[in-house]
Amino acid sequence: MNEEHIMTPEEEDRLIEAEFQDVLNGYLKSNHRKKVEIIERAFRFAKKAHAGIRRRSGEPYILHPIAVAKIASQEIGLGSTSICAALLHDVVEDTEYTVEDIERMFGKKIAQIVAGLTKISGGIFGDQASAQAENFRKLLLTMSEDIRVVLIKMADRLHNMRTLGSMAPNKQYKIAGETLYIYAPLAHRLGLFEIKTELEDLSFKYEHPHAYERIAEQIRASEAKRSAVYNDFSAPIKESLNKMGLRYEAKARLKSVYSIWRKMETKHVPFEEVYDLYAMRIIFDCDDPAQEKAICWNIYSAITDLYRLHPDRTRDWISNPKANGYQALHLTVMGPDGNWIEVQIRSRRMDEIAEKGFAAHWKYKIGESDEESELNVWLRTIKDILDDPNPNAIDFLDTLKLNLFASEIVVFTPKGELITLPTQSTVLDVAFELHSQIGTKCIAGKVNHKLVPLSHKLHSGDQVEVLTSQSQTPKEEWMAFLATAKARTRLRAALRKEQQPVIDKGRAILSDFLKEAEVEGTNEVLTKMMAFYKLPTRDALYYKLGSGELSLDGYVLKDSPKTEKSLLSKIFRIGRPTTRKGEGPAIVTPEKIDTKKTYELKVDDHERNFVFADCCRPIPGDDVMGFINDLGQVEVHSLTCPRAQVLKASFGPRIVSTSWSTVKEKFLAEILIEGVDRHGILQELTHTISNHLNIDIRSLHIDTDKEVFSCRLTVLVSDTGVVTALCNRVKKIKGVQNASRVADTPALPE
């Protein structure tokens, strides 16, 4: 809404009516049955229910449900039931009306979807680690009742992301983090590629605004050059396709800002060296689905007659569609400028399914199909995870993330049945996929008739036979080589069953210990004990106590100034992050932190008003966020840290937006330098850094392999600007090919 001009009630009403008309017009152009009357009624009802309520941006609240209905209808392709549910999705939560009122006025189906959506956002979860994880569990449960619930939730999340600018900075971090951690992978799994890409880009824009702007500007600046290369490349292909008499559309598909940034980060390359900035997409019209496969391969043949094919980068998703329904033929060929270019070949039907996902499947269904869709198979797996009584919300999200896999392999049973699994899956994953009993009794496998251990990683096309023994029992160490969420859930359940008597014994030991110490066994105490012993769950703590691996004997129970070794005094010092070597300032814990405001990170010679997280090493200038830990301190995490992703998705109220203020301190940064080895290069490197740039080197490790060297440097710097200057200067040294900072962000522990 334009801030200079405050709208009159009449102007607002005209805007609301125009936006709704836009939804109706889009719906009337679709091939759904035209049920305008019920949509009109739902709109009038929602408009009246939300009358006088405004969004944080100041605009009338009803514009949000209208926008969600528009996304559901025009971007996901849903029909009248979903449009009505989208218009009504906040009525039960935000007004006096109930689900029963909705059912009475709009029927059972719409009421069920609205109830599903209300269930997701409502509810009180007490001291649970994560209301969001609990929310997500509910979302997936309602998903198995009606897939439209999650599709409308996706539309709701997308509109919230598009209007995130009006939220407080800490809310932006929380919502963006949750979106990147949960909703974008889920959109991918549902085949909603356009939505997945936009969710990733918007999350990235709010988490790393400077990097986003920089890459967006570089894309704009390189557009003319890119277009010229694309035209040179595509002209001969179009000529061949025209001779074949095809009706088709050819276009350059640019990589998203987020995926370009990911590539730059993971490969440590600058923007100029991301060669696969775009792919060519060919979409052809074909009235007979039976002909699609043949036409795809004919186009493939025409392209490989013109350009050199990359032998390892052909992907046939037509014969074996991805689990989310994606079908296409991908090939990579050498372009006229000497760079590899990917070409994606799809029919119009495949393209709709690729961009809009499962909603587009319904459009192409002819009659009722008995075949169980891949989505239902996936939903059954999700039910498997949901049935797991494991109460740890973070574990739940991580297990689920495993299942939202992007890259897949296809293996076969000895009878030729096809199983879709994530890459890195093992024989044991297949065993658990077949049945829990087969998994727990698995001793080895036969892959392509060769005997292999149960940890053997599988490849697409492998034929897998599982070997079992009645004397086999499930092992804790199996967790390390399982790639599917289903297998991990089933193994956890089997282990729990085996370990239950020992766990019960450990629970009793701890209970007696705490009772004698006159300490209540609260969530906080147990969480701190788990952290102290570096154990992931309560059951793991109880098991170690019950089996005698951990002993509480010998510890002084009561706390006293002289007994520093008291277990409980040790435990209650947990969470106090240690100061790093060379970091002298004392930590000052602020009395009250306003999470709605941006918290300024300050360091001088004597005091610091924040602590560093152990999982990453941000320095001034990095994009960071604050997390209020159990001691009330602001714990600083790099936004790219995997732990930060989990915190944003799971502890929203404790996230605080931060900015670097006065910093009079030096920090450690690690630099990776790679290049062609020559006599004296190391001396030149150290001389440039120490003398010319006046930067202290704290450690240096160099490896050479024939003519190539790799050097890891740890230096003391004041901020990211110094690191950039160092890398730019070092790149000018003869023989140096690349110099970049290594982000200190290890993967999350299991």
Q: Which residues are catalytic?
A: 93-94
Among 86, 250, 236, which residue's Cα sits nearest to residue 152?
86
Query: Are 425 and 484 in contact, with CB atoms under 8 Å apart?
Result: yes
How far apart CA 177 and CA 203 sit, in angstroms, is: 7
User: Which residues in 499-538 are b (16+ Cβ under 10 Å) and which e?
Assistant: beebbeebbebbeebbeebebeeeeebbbbbbebeebeeb
AA letter at 6: I
- The set of residues, in sequence order, having a beta carbon less than 8 Å from that of 708 and lying 6+ positions away, is 674, 675, 676, 677
String of DSSP letters for 582-618: T--PEE---S---TTSPEEEEE-SSEES-EE-SS---
Among 604, 612, 610, which residue's Cα sits nearest to residue 584?
604
Q: H-helix or E-strand containing 453?
A: strand 450-453
User: Which residues in 703-741 are b (16+ Cβ under 10 Å) and which e?
Assistant: eeeeeebebebebebbbbebbeebbebbeeeeebebbbb
Count other Cβ atoms within 10 Å, centred on residue 634.
21
Count other Cβ atoms within 10 Å, centred on residue 194.
15
Q: What does DSSP assign to residue 59? A: S
Nearest 5°: the CA angle 504, 510, 514 is 145
Residue 20 corresponds to which tokens in the numbers above?
A: 């709704």
Among 277, 276, 275, 274, which residue's Cα sits nearest to residue 265?
274
| 560: three-class secondary structure by DSSP | coil
**Sheet strand arrangement including 464-468:** 450-453, 442-447, 464-468
